[in-house]
Amino acid sequence: MYTLRRYNAPGDTASIHKLDHSIFKCGSSKQELEKMLGWVIDEGFSPVGYLLYTRVDDKNLFLETIGVDPTWRGQGIGTELMNKIISKADDQEQNIHLYINKQHQGLVKFYELFGFTIKNKTCSKAYTSIAMYRPRVLK
């Protein structure tokens, strides 16, 4: 049984840094993680999933990262985390932006499930990223 709670930097930084780096070859630095907001899913006292964002301005959030421990995937944890940022954005009439890098292109389908659409593709020899966003819902 898992529980969802708010991400609290700096107390959570070390454990989320460890999980983030076990999921991504090149994860966020501790300094970056300290500036982020979001939610964590714990199993007991150990985090098994997280979603972190930064606030660009009143109307725009940037989804920095979402990760679920491989042994916990496919059980709705990613959905629960996405629903948190979506309900926050909808409450405050905010757009959500994100980038996917070319190694994770399959994720376009994951984000489309939550109302994100492709904004543009940026390409260079060294790097390709896909920008997606979920437009704000006006009340």
Ligand X SMILES: CC(C)(COP(=O)(O)OP(=O)(O)OC[C@H]1O[C@@H](n2cnc3c(N)ncnc32)[C@H](O)[C@@H]1OP(=O)(O)O)[C@@H](O)C(=O)NCCC(=O)NCCS
Size (the chain), residues: 139
Query: DSSP letter at 136?
Result: P
Shortest Cβ distance from residue 6 to ligand X (Å)?
18
Q: Which of 29, 46, 79, 87 binds ligand X (CB under 6 A)?
A: 79
Q: Where are the beta strands (DSSP E) in 1-139?
A: 2-6, 37-43, 46-57, 60-68, 95-101, 117-123, 128-134
Shortest Cβ distance from residue 36 to ligand X (Å)?
12
| By the rule CB under 6 A, 71 interacts with ligand X | no
| By the rule CB under 6 A, 65 interacts with ligand X | yes
Which position's Cβ is nearest ligand X? 78
Residues 6+ apart with CB under 8 A from 27: 17, 20, 21, 65
Which of residues 93 and 120 has its CB atom nearest to ligand X in the complex?
120
Binding segment for ligand X among 27-35, 75-83, 117-125, 131-139 (CB under 6 A)? Answer: 75-83
| By the rule CB under 6 A, 137 interacts with ligand X | no
**Through-space distance between the first and last CA atoms of the chain, rounded to whole angstroms:** 35
Q: Which of 68, 66, 105 is nearest to 85 (CA)?
A: 66
Residues contributing to the site for ligand X (CB under 6 A): 23, 65-68, 73-79, 104, 106-107, 109-110, 113
